[in-house]
Structure 1
Amino acid sequence: MPFKTPNKTSEYIRSILPCEKDDALRAITDYADKHILPVLLPETAAFLRQAVTILKPNKILEIGTSIGYSGHIILGACKGHLYTIEADEKSADVAENFFCKSGYEDRVTLIRGDSNEVIPLMSGEFDFIFMDGPKTRYVEYLPYLRKLMAERSAILCDNVLFNGMVSGENDTPKKKATIVVALDKFLKTLMADESLITSVLPVGDGVSFSITR
């Protein structure tokens, strides 16, 4: 269930996207609709699928499993192993059930815990990182994630424009101000990192896509 209010451009893009043929993804979307849970916007899902298909990562880190929708996109687009972090036990249970039903249980390591605590303790190298966790933490996670990125790797982050609030296109309610300030700092930090080549794209709710030089 996408939460961002679509404009005419995004409505058009969604109208020309092919219908989802994956039974598991349709089942996850139905569950999300029934329980009023957000999943990736269709155009963001398409971009994620394309990026993973091109890069063919062997080892992937996902921050924010939710109920497993983006994880299914990733696993369906490559043959790699997904390490995915989720703090909410109920969401993790639902995601695990969907992964098992899809036959992905041997290709997924579901890490149950707060990403604030898990990420600083992680080691190893990842070919691809997808970040869709707590937005105020993106900039705090970045130094840790850079250390986890392999020599030739990429990181894709979702919701970085936050419904137009980060750019100032839409007004920011006071209760969202902290998120907007944090995302602005994150994007500027990302762009200033000369070891990365970064693009910020108005796909869905905004994505940043960075590759190592």
Structure 2
Amino acid sequence: MHSDALQRYVRATGADHSDVQAEMADHADEHGFPIIGPDAGAVLRLLARLTDAERVFEFGSGFGYSASWFLAGGADEVVLTEIDADELEMARDFLDREGTADRAQFEHGDALDAVADYDGPFDVVLIDHDKARYAKGFDLAREKVPEGGVVVADNMTKGPVDIEVLADYFAEGEPLPDDVGDPMAGIVEYVEHVRADPAFESFILPVGSGLCMSTRIAPRED
């Protein structure tokens, strides 16, 4: 009951959708497409403002919902990556109607390949693609994130995870079940990976589907 009340309280006092974002959310509901939602979206918007973001890179953009929040926060440029050409075209249309498409780069293909085409720096990086490849995405982007920049990863507490299993593993040292599955195993690998990186400070923010926030605290390597 307390958890339900907390969620209702956060939602009632949280960010509102723009008209176009409301269309995006309706599309997601209609087609069962996972999006970060307005509460996590407000975090992305805040990060864009706090970092005075010149460039944001997204591993997995779908039809542009998360990018719309970065752009609402004033990001100068957001690089969207999406392997589904139809979804990427939808993102272009949605952001064009939002009036922000001129600040977006639309990359069709695998995000792990696309990131190599950009030198950075990326003030914020969002990782929200194939969970089993989260850690790989982090490794490819980490040296392009400047000191004070942030890497955000979605689905830390909801989605393809069992929060009870995660709590038992990280808090109690219980082994993961044999049938844990690649997506959840990828989340576990990612959390362990970023927490062990001395160049970043990381924590889980239980907003939306759960965000892992990793801030770079050391200069990039030359």
TM-score by length of 1: 0.85
User: Which aligned pairs between 1:47-196 and structure 2 lie closer than 5 A?
Assistant: 47-161=43-157, 162-164=161-163, 165-168=165-168, 174=179, 177-196=181-200
Q: 1:37 to 1:196 in 2, by over 3 A?
A: same
The answer to which of 195-204 and 133-142 deviates more is 195-204
Aligned length: 205
Shift of 1:143: 1.5
Q: 1:109 to 1:200 in 2, by over 3 A?
A: same
CA RMSD, Structure 1 to Structure 2 (Å): 2.3
Q: Which residue of 2 aligns with 1:38?
A: 34
Shift of 1:95: 0.7
Shift of 1:57: 0.7
The answer to which of 160-169 and 182-191 deviates more is 160-169
Moved over 6 A (4+): none
Q: 1:107 to 1:185 in 2, by over 3 A?
A: same
Q: Secondary structure at the match of 1:126?
A: coil
Which amino acid counterpart does residue 129 of structure 1 have in structure 2? V
Shift of 1:159: 0.7
Which amino acid counterpart does residue 58 of structure 1 have in structure 2? E
More strand, by proportion: 1
Aligned equivalents of 1:149, 1:177: Cα separation in 2: 30
Q: Secondary structure at the match of 2:167?
A: coil
Per-residue CA deviation, residues 115-153 of structure 1 (Å, 9 max, x unaligned), is 233234542321111111111101122221112212331
Q: Which residue of 2 aligns with 1:3?
A: none
Aligned equivalents of 1:19, 1:126: Cα separation in 2: 25
Contact kept, 8 Å, 1:85 with 1:111, in 2: the verdict is: yes
Gaps of at least 5 residues in structure 2 are: 170-175, 218-222
TM-score by length of 2: 0.82
The answer to which of 38-47 and 15-24 deviates more is 15-24
